[in-house]
Chain A
Amino acid sequence: MIATQLLVNAAALGAAYALVAVGFVLVLNATTAVNFAHGESVVAGGFAAVALANLLPPDIAVPGLILLPGVLAVSALLGLAIGALAYLPIRNRPPVSVFVTTIAVGIIIANGLNAGFGAAPRSAPSLIGTGGFEFLGATISRQSLAIIATATLLIAGLAGLLQRTQLGRQFRACAQDPEMARALGIRLTRITLMAFALGTAFAGVAGLLLAHQFFVSASDGSVLILKAYIAVVIGGWGSLRGAAAGALLIAVFEVGIAAIASQPVAEGALYIAVLLVLFVRPQGLFGEPQQVRA
């Protein structure tokens, strides 16, 4: 059945987008600033997988799964660097400064990758091998299922961390009121850097997951950050659950429209939809209108 097929495709794409969006919100909450290098972090994760794959022996059944910890580690380090370079030195300046510094970091990453790997799209190894099986008349690829499983596990793990552990409580405290959290003895800088590391690690894994089927090229960052951004706007600024839901919605929208029209039409329709959403509800789809005190 074509509908089942599309649904699985959308779920896999949405799961990868959800990782990107959740990572984006993690940093957003810790800093109240937008990390514009987040799209490039996804791309960097994809290329990390491409590079690390060269080190693997050729006949491994689950190459992507073996690469996963490596990609996580590389991306986390990248996240630490982004936080230390582009956020910490200017955390007391207006948020637009962080926009610009993270755009700068994005330029550095994208063009560094372009110079190192070339402009041609590259493909990363599959997570648990290729092929698929028949289910309700549709062919379900192993990669799609693996993407859904990996993203679900990681996001559930993060939710557990935030809800059940002392560290998670500190994260949430910093997101709500950084000054107060600091006054209560929480190490704000450490939490902020951890948010960058964790958020970028999520982006990197998404890069690994996406780079098998959809390939990865150095210039993909701006489209990916746009998707994460849109997911967060749809889901409500700052809400992790909302970001994941928004990402799934985007994927369903994209896959659905691409199936009846074409990929460019789907992408264009998404941008128009977002502009319309912002037109009707400037505070986002599920966001509360904010009161600012003079």
Chain B
Amino acid sequence: MNLRNHIPAAAVGIVLVVYATAFASSYDQRLLALSGVYVILVLGYQFIFGHAGALSLAQGAFFGAGAYATGILATRWGLGFLATFPLSIAFAALLAALVAAPVLRLRTHYFALATLALAQLLLLVAVNWEGFTGGANGLSGVPPISILGWQAPRGLPLVTAVWVVAGIAILLARQQMNPVRRAAFAVARDTPLAAPAFGIDAGLLRFRAFILSAGFGGAAGALFVHTNRVVSPETLGFGVMVTCLTMTVVGGRSRIAGALIGALLLTHMPEWLRGLESYYLVAMGALLLAMVLFAPDGLASLLPAPKSRSGPAVIPEPAVFAEAFAGPPATLDASGLHKSFGGIRALGDLSLTLASGEIAGVIGPNGAGKTTLANALTGIAPPDAGTVHFAGRAISGLAPHDIARAGLTRTFQTPQLPPALDVQAIVATARNHAGSQSEAPAVVDALAFCGLADMASVPAGTLPHGLRRRVEICRAIVSRPSVLVLDEPAAGLTPEEQAEIGTLCRALSDAGMAILLIDHNVGFLRPIADRLVCMAEGRILADGSPDTVLTDPAVRAAYFGMDA
């Protein structure tokens, strides 16, 4: 790790320490302590809102849950900080874990609704269960933070205690969001349909983000109560959620610097906007609106971007062999596949086998069920009936990311690439699940094999169409699959680019990979395919050598519109 990268952060830290110890009044110190509390809250919210991309409206509720846990445990049972603090975090995380299963599979607007309903429910309980929570007045007399006899009264000791915890939270957030996982989150967030096809378990990522956000929220709530010495329903109110959301949007959704900037700025802003008095919150709303409209990535985006890798991509040895990317030889055997959408039959009793080292081209008119077949084989849209055996094991019914990890990967008709992520990071996400974190050599080799070595650090969104297709193929082979399903890999490419893709496929299949190649372009398929399969109306019309299939009268009628 390069120490020079940390100079600005260290400088800011020193300025804050000097300000806190030498210049800050006791009121300023209170604001600093609150800032530290909000840093933790926002760091937590970044996991679910920034990285997972889900608008949770329960972050304020987790804050309140931690606050009430500390308040009740400390005042009713007289427990000390070393007990109440971990229990508060655990309570918030447990709450999240309890609702995670139903809540996390909801789509955007339903997810927001469910988390909001959850937050309102907790608020109702806190206000109405007077005997336990103190009702609308809350509970007062919460003791200061105390650790093994050392107490942190208001002022500098409290600021120190809060910021030590905030520091730990920052380290934890850094460790949780290493570059590879950051990239995996980006893939799952920006291209949710494609992520599982490259072995990314998006559900697990979301679960992790949700639990982390709740734990951080609980920790922040607990410290907030030690700062205020009372716990009241306000800690569960929508106001906390709004504050957290504003800080995250203003600072930045996914960078640690963003959490620091957002929390410090918005905690101190009321002081600077005192003249506005009761209209202060109106100004905060206006600021939130202006940020989304004019600087959607937050203030942290104005800072130089952190390096996503340790160094530039190494230009690899000239000879990288296809053998390096072909997994163990395996046969794919699908039988009796059925799939219907509403009343429309997309696949009807379809059976197909694919041997290792074989390229089977799939042709057929639009609506023949070609993409449905790819989706059914790879588990993206599991078949209604029928079985798929792969390497001697039934894979129909497995989650798509498990199918991908077993060695069956694919590409999509429209390249599914997160626009902001660079090529190397995207390819690395498909490799990471296969083993240890340091898979960089394999990733670089794959980039070189696909002719992308020069493009390693280019954001996918700026690539021309032909290169995007190659990134998709590169990502699909980097995990060494045994079977590769390509959905129209040559569509929209120039003849030269098509030839390159063809050469790539041929090399991979010669190395033992089985390839199912869906395309319309017979001119592209004919020279490279060992076999052609013609589909129509969800069935296989003909299956055999290219010459036999292309001269088959039924194929000519269905596909080329010629008389039999």
Contact = CB atoms under 8 A, between A and B. Distances in A.
A70 B289 CA distance: 28
Interface in A92-109: 93-97, 99-101, 103-108
Nearest to A273: B117
B168 interface: no
A69 interface: no
A108 B414 contact: no
Interface residues on A, range: 35 or more
B127 A264 contact: yes
Contacts of A89: 293
Contacts of A99: 55, 112
Contact of B110 (A95, A105, A233): A233
B110 A108 contact: no
Interface string B255-288: 0000000000000000000000111011011101
Contacts of B306: none
A144 B299 CA distance: 51
A139 B123 CA distance: 34
Interface of A, helix, strand, loop or mixed by DSSP: helix
Contacts of B416: 294
Contacts of B106: 278, 282
Interface stretch (A42-50, A175-183, A222-230, A240-248): A222-230
Nearest to A114: B278
A103 B288 contact: yes
Contacts, number: 129
Contacts of A108: 282, 285-286, 289
A10 to B, nearest CB: 21
Contacts of B116: 222, 226, 229
B380 A101 contact: no
A3 interface: no
Contacts of B124: 264, 267-268, 271
Interface residues on B, range: 35 or more
Interface of B, helix, strand, loop or mixed by DSSP: helix
Contact of B120 (A34, A90, A106, A226): A226
A233 B106 CA distance: 12
B193 A93 contact: no
B118 A275 contact: yes
B493 interface: no
B413 interface: yes
A294 B380 contact: yes
A90 B289 CA distance: 11
A96 B55 contact: yes
Contact of A291 (B245, B292, B293, B341): B341
Given A100-B292, A107-B285, A292-B193, A282 B120 contact: no
B292 A223 contact: no
B312 interface: no
B311 interface: no
A50 B238 CA distance: 25
B113 A90 contact: no
A116 B105 CA distance: 42
20 contacts: A34-B109, A93-B296, A95-B108, A95-B109, A97-B296, A99-B112, A103-B242, A103-B245, A107-B282, A107-B284, A111-B285, A114-B281, A222-B238, A223-B120, A229-B116, A233-B110, A264-B127, A275-B114, A294-B412, A294-B413
Given A230-B113, A271-B121, A278-B106, 4 more contacts: A103-B245, A105-B289, A108-B282, A115-B282
